[in-house]
Amino acid sequence: MVSKVGIIGLGNVGSAVALALVLRGSVSELVLIDKDDKKARAEQYDLTDQQALLTSNTKILRQNYNDSWTLLKDCDVLVFSPGDISILQAQLQTDNPDRLNELRSSAQIVQEVAPKINASKFNGIILSITNPCDVVVTYLQELVDLPKNHIFGTGTTLDTTRMKHAVSAYLDCSIHDIDGYVLGEHGESQFTAWSTVRVGGIPMNDLAATHRIDLKVIEENSSKGAWYIISGKGFTSHGIGLTGATLVEAILNNARQVFPLSSYNTDYQTYIGQPTRIGAGGVLEVLPLTLSDTEQELFDHSAKIVRENRLKIPSLLAVDPVL
């Protein structure tokens, strides 16, 4: 089956998604778009060079920035990943790093790029990675000519894998034996829904009670994962790159698989990280959540933060542009 995927934004994340898709032979054609034409050309050549060593072949397509949007018209999936990593890196110098501080720059990017997506007549599925993920995908959906179920963000998918890693390290067990979710905003208000977590089928809350496990320690180790990576190498790439590629594959293969994605929640009228089934039609179903009272309060609070920050965008955009 011929499949075509576009990537907007070839920074550390967009390039990592492109690399994963090519190495895994996931797509027939890959469109690369970046404001820096030299960067896009470099990625095109670099991704093409390695294919002599692969058993698959991916056609890498690129034009100059202003002309490249015409290549999106027949794409099945579009990965939205532009951003300014220097803002995130600067957060490490503060006492309270927060992805929401990227909102002004990201909102300006959305405002610039959304009309170009519309003009391209793209009619596929958009996967948004740009931070702050939930606020950006909410704003992006408002500006592009696509229904809500055709746009979603990576949400807390990577955060969930970090939680599983933290649990497996604490219990010295296989990460593949762990099920469950981190939910809410992909940011500081996210939380592990321990009521959903199972280890080898055993509820984590039961294990915690019988083995005196400190869940707060595990959650703290999990939530700090991204900042440990950024403080060490200046950005995250491998984990989110494979996450993006996996979600693209789930769409192309109509996997009908559930991930904790930033999808639209009708009750809160915003996008937020929640269990979401995806396939060729984009979001197929948002699974109902049965949370404890405390977890429900945390979810409510997280949705409130996303909503409030979406409302801040007009005032942020009224300031002199940073682009």
- Tokens representing 191 are 């939380």
Length of the chain equals 323
Catalytic residue among 150, 176, 186, 301: 186
Q: What's the burial of 288, exposed, middle or buried (CB within 10 Å: 0-12/13-18/19+)?
A: exposed
- Tokens representing 25 are 């032979």
Cis preceding-peptide flag for 115 (omega within 30 of 0): no
**Rounded Cα–Cα distance for residues 106 and 92 (Å):** 19
Active site annotation includes 176: no
Confirm if 106 and 80 have CB atoms less than 8 A apart: no
**Rounded Cα–Cα distance for residues 286 and 78 (Å):** 21
What is each CA distance from 59 to 25, 53, 78, 79, 298, in whole angstroms? 10, 15, 16, 17, 45
For residue 126, give the nearest of 77, 180, 169, 173 by alpha carbon. Answer: 77
Confirm if 274 and 50 have CB atoms less than 8 A apart: no
Residue type, 67: D
**Rounded Cα–Cα distance for residues 78 and 65 (Å):** 16
Question: Annotated active-site positions, please?
Answer: 186
